[in-house]
Amino acid sequence: MSRKALVTVVLALLALAAVSLAAALVRGGTAWPGATPEATFRDRNGDGVLEHGGGEPLLDRTELAPRSRIVRRLALFAQLTDAHILDEESPARLEVLDRRGRPFTSAFRPQEALSGQVLAATVRSLNALKPEAVVVTGDLIDNAQRNELDEALAILRGGRVNPNSGARGYQGVQDAADADPFYYRPDVDPPRHPGLVTRAERPFVSRGLEGPWYPVVGNHDLLVQGILAPTARTNEIATGNRKLLGLGAAALHAVQGLEVIPSLVARLLRFGLPGASARVPPDPRRRELSADETLAALRDASGHGGGGALLDYSFDIGPVRAIVLDTIRRSSGASGVVRPSQRRWLQHELRAAGRHPVIVFSHTPLRSAEGGDAALSLLDRARHVVAVVAGDTHRNVIRPRAGYWQIDTSSLIDYPQQARAVELDRTANGGLVLQTWMIDHDPSNQDAEISRQLAYLDYQGGRVQGLAGRRTDRNARLYLP
Backbone angles phi, psi at 114, to 5 degrees: -110, 20
Determine contact, residues 358/395, Cβ cutoff 8 Å.
Answer: no
Residue 134 lies in a domain: yes
How are strands ordered across the β-sheet holding 358-362? 313-317, 320-325, 358-362, 385-390, 404-408, 397-401
DSSP conformation letters of 190-233: SSP-TTHHHHHTS-EEE---SS-EEEE--HHHHSBTTTB---HH
Report pLDDT for 17.
Answer: 43
CA nearest neighbour of 424 among 324, 325, 357, 355? 357
- Integer-rounded Cα Rg, in Å, for the chain is 22
DSSP conformation letters of 23-73: HHHHHT-S----BTTTEEEE-TTSSS--EEEE----EEE-SSS----EEEE
Q: Which residues contact 353 (CB under 8 A, 6 or more apart)?
A: 314, 321, 323, 384
Q: Count CB atoms within 10 A of the CB of residue 62.
A: 13
Note down pLDDT in tens along the chain; length 481 residues.
344 443 444 444 444 444 334 433 333 334 457 999 999 999 988 888 899 889 999 999 999 999 999 999 999 999 999 999 999 999 999 898 777 666 667 789 999 999 999 999 999 999 999 999 999 999 999 999 999 999 999 999 999 999 999 999 999 999 999 989 889 999 999 999 999 999 999 999 999 999 999 999 999 999 999 999 999 999 999 999 999 888 777 676 666 655 666 776 777 777 678 788 899 999 999 999 999 999 999 999 999 999 999 999 999 999 999 999 999 999 998 999 999 999 999 999 999 999 999 999 999 999 999 999 999 999 999 999 999 999 999 999 999 999 999 999 999 999 999 999 999 999 999 999 999 999 999 999 999 999 999 999 998 888 889 999 999 999 999 999 9
Residue 424 vs residues 115, 421, 479: alpha-carbon distances, Å: 30, 10, 10
Determine contact, residues 199/150, Cβ cutoff 8 Å.
Answer: no
Residue 238 lies in a domain: no
Query: How far, in Å, CA of 240 to CA of 218, rounded?
Result: 25
Label residue 474 exposed, middle or buried (CB < 10 Å: 0-12, 13-18, 19+): buried
Give the range of the structural domain holding residue 77, as residue numbers without chain letter: 3-227+289-480
Query: How far, in Å, CA of 238 to CA of 234, rounded?
Result: 6
Dihedral, CA atoms, 435, 382, 313, 208, nearest 10 degrees? 0
First to last CA, the chain: 56
Determine contact, residues 34/439, Cβ cutoff 8 Å.
Answer: yes
Query: How far, in Å, CA of 57 to CA of 253, rounded?
Result: 51
Query: How far, in Å, CA of 465 to CA of 330, rounded?
Result: 29
Q: How far is CA 334 from the centre of its chain?
A: 15
Determine contact, residues 432/480, Cβ cutoff 8 Å.
Answer: yes
Residue 157 lies in a domain: yes
409-442 burial, b at 16+ Cβ within 10 Å, e below that, comes to bbbbbbbbbbbbbbbbbbbeeebbbbbbbbbbbb
In 3-state terms, what secondary structure has residue 9? helix
Label residue 308 exposed, middle or buried (CB < 10 Å: 0-12, 13-18, 19+): exposed
Query: How far, in Å, CA of 115 to CA of 397, rounded?
Result: 23
Q: How wide is the angle at C-alpha 367 spanned by C-alphas 365 and 372, nearest 5°?
A: 95
Q: What's the domain count of the chain?
A: 1
Residue 282 lies in a domain: no
Query: How far, in Å, CA of 122 to CA of 141, rounded?
Result: 15
Report pLDDT for 253.
Answer: 65
Residue 321 maps to which CATH number? Answer: 3.60.21.10
Instruction: Report DSSP state, residue 424.
Output: E
Residue 242 lies in a domain: no
CA nearest neighbour of 474 among 415, 430, 427? 415
Residue 251 lies in a domain: no
Specify which residues 320 forms β-bridges with.
317
Specify which residues 388 forms β-bridges with.
360, 406
Residue 293 lies in a domain: yes
Query: How far, in Å, CA of 306 to CA of 272, rounded?
Result: 40
Residue 100 lies in a domain: yes
Strands (DSSP E) contained in 231-299 are 242-247, 275-279
Q: Count CB atoms within 10 A of the CB of residue 367.
A: 16
ω into residue 191 within 30 of 0, thus cis?
A: yes
